[in-house]
Structure 1
Amino acid sequence: MSEPLRVAIAGLGTVGAGVIRLLDANGELIARRAGRPIEVVAVSARDRSKDRGVDIDRFDWVDDPTALARHPGADVVVELVGGADGPALALARAALDAGKSFVTANKAMIAHHGFSLAEAAEKADVALKFEAAVAGGIPVIKGLREGAAANAITRVYGILNGTCNYILSKMESDGSDFDAVLSEAQALGYAEADPSFDIDGVDAAHKLSILASLSFGTRPAFDDVATGGVRHVVAADIAEAAALGYRVRLVGMAEADAGGLFQRVHPYLVPLRHPLAHVSDSINAVVAEGNYVGRLFFQGAGAGDGPTASAVVADLIDIARGEFGPAYAMPVESLTAQPVADSGERRGRAYVRLMVQDRVGVLAEIAAAMRDAGVSIESLIQRGAAADGSVMVVIVTHEGPERCVAQALEKLSGSPSLTGAPMWMYILGE
């Protein structure tokens, strides 16, 4: 058997320790599949004395993670520190500059700096791999980069954040409101103490920008992702969606056509007939639509030590075999810079929830605003009065340009009839 692939790991949190456990548990099988052993030779983390449940005394300890790039015994550097910039980015650049292949689970860094890192990897003729950066243990990046390589991908979308999906699923099953379920998710460790990146859609937007680049051959464009979250979804929205034959899910959606690159993360009403409607708890799922292969559906655990470590080690196996190509499925010089598509021209149906005063003429005012903006109403439902005397009005629109709904809500924004900000969700087509 060939010489081992020697690995240095920066970051020994849940995932870093998980990588070591996985290599220990499945080392013989991995060596057979890789054609040679994969061995950790050096590690770096903030606290050397911390008990991580794995023996790290057998590895070289390096205080400065960037120094792993210069470790003479390492062929590959694995970065599990996190953060778009700072030590993670410094290590990535140093490793590639030193001619070492680089593996990361860091979606924020890849979303912001992936293009320049891919350039550096190509220049050094080494691998840049990031399977674990999107959807944990689901091999969606490999599936798009290799399995679907012969296809023109027309659309890629999915449930990309397990925290949000857990919250929405729990609201659905228990009838609880958002704040109560978020607190429970934090207590269980599903949500961070500051959950903003998750519940405001930023985490999903990082992942979506990576998927879009792989799918369409475009330069990563995280700053162009229109991002919304689930913070303002209430139990009544979940109940209304169910009554209408839908489930609420936070969906990342990307398409590229002659009009440019469209990328959006936002709550959607998903038809019960669609497979995404049945993705529950903290599970992730990605749908890719190819012009020859049709619809591909990837589903599995999107986070956690085991699934994420599995993706990291899968990248190491590829490197051990010498199987690696361009990070984005084609050389960086072939990636195109696309303009941002005008979302207002997109056609679709929408769900709109309004809290309004319970008085004569309010429904006529709402209907007039919709009519003047060119919105055709499919259904309008008024529910009973809340504690403050306001009532909930739910509108489902017929298909039409998205800008029309936006214009209608703009017309209503200054109305004294509204007692709260409107909630607008898109309806996913099948």
Structure 2
Amino acid sequence: MNSLWKMPDYRHWFISDTTDVVATSLRLFAIPLVIISMTKSEFISGIVVTLVSVTTMIATPIGGAIADRHNRRRMMMLLGVIGASLSVIAVILICVGNQISTWMFIGIVIFFALNSGLLCPSNNAILKSIVPVKLFAKSQAIRETRESCVGILSGAVGGFFYRLSPWGPFAACGVMHIISAISAKKLSNPTVSVEDNEDESFIESLKNGFVWVMSSSRFRSYLAFGAVCNIACTGIIIGTQLMLAARGTDPILIGLIDGVMGIVMLLGSLCAMKITETLSPGLIATLTVVLFGISLVPMIFTDNYYVILACVSLGGFLFPACNSSLLGFLYGHTPNNMQGRADSVMETVLSVFSSFTPALVGWILESPSGFTGVVILCVTCSAVSMLITLGKPLRSIPQTKFWDTTTL
């Protein structure tokens, strides 16, 4: 890993991407809390979160095609500048008498979603221009560690800022976007060149990216696995957050769940490299969803805060290793001129169902089954995703030492 940190472009990219991830985490933490405070409805809050997810999902494939046709460094800079501008607008509107209307707030978060969907694919697409193929799996492991650290901080920090004022998370979000744009500007020009795609139209570019991804049985199996697994993960996180917020739990305690989850996933990410070197990606994926599903079972019988804290946190331990192995293999075998589209296709397909999960969760929470129904849904999805990992496409992916001689 040390060789990655010796690369100036990698360091600049890492800072830019990390601050963007932090900004997004703070914003997404605050949105459902703000909506609940406005509407007093878990269902409406779930609908708004779904609307944001769907907007991002629709914009992401377009963003992926743009990333494969235009200057990725400039796209990263623009992502930060627009994000900072939207954050300032959000802070101003909330501060003006604290009487921001629901529709105005929804408009702001939709623009945030469009910004992320159209420009964020450049962050992932540019990475293969910076990192050698032989270090790609290590870069994925570092990203998993980063995600865990962000999880530790963003929930607790977001809860702290929200307790101070609803505009607090958005102010912090704006600062992060500014740092992201400045770091992206420091990337050298050679890292942002992309292969020439001018011979095909924009629509053809989108179509070819989708066809290329879907031509691989391993990509297809991963997408099926990830889509179902995402429903379980999104469902339990949003369900827990909405349920606790509705019963008046302190925002800091709600954020603490994200923090403890982050600590557990950080421990998992520190073990990820050893796990990926020892076990095959398919086996890791199977063990990941088995642990996740089993950890949720106690929550069927109780909604005690501390039981939820322990169960949700434990379930995420193996996800860093799962993501490092599967995504490291798939992205490492994706051509540079397909990175943006491959990433956006995967992000879109994976979010098709999970985008509607918050609305479904909000509806279930207000139904007679309540939080128990949400947990049962998530356990069921975990079982289905486990069955997918047992199929040949994922089960046959070898250990990392054999990746050089393995194809998609």
**Band the TM-score falls in, shorter-chain normalisation:** under 0.3
Higher strand proportion, which one? 1
By relative contact order (CA 8 Å, sep 6+), the higher-ranking structure is: 2
Provide TM-score, normalisation by structure 1: 0.26
Higher helix proportion, which one? 2
Provide TM-score, normalisation by structure 2: 0.27
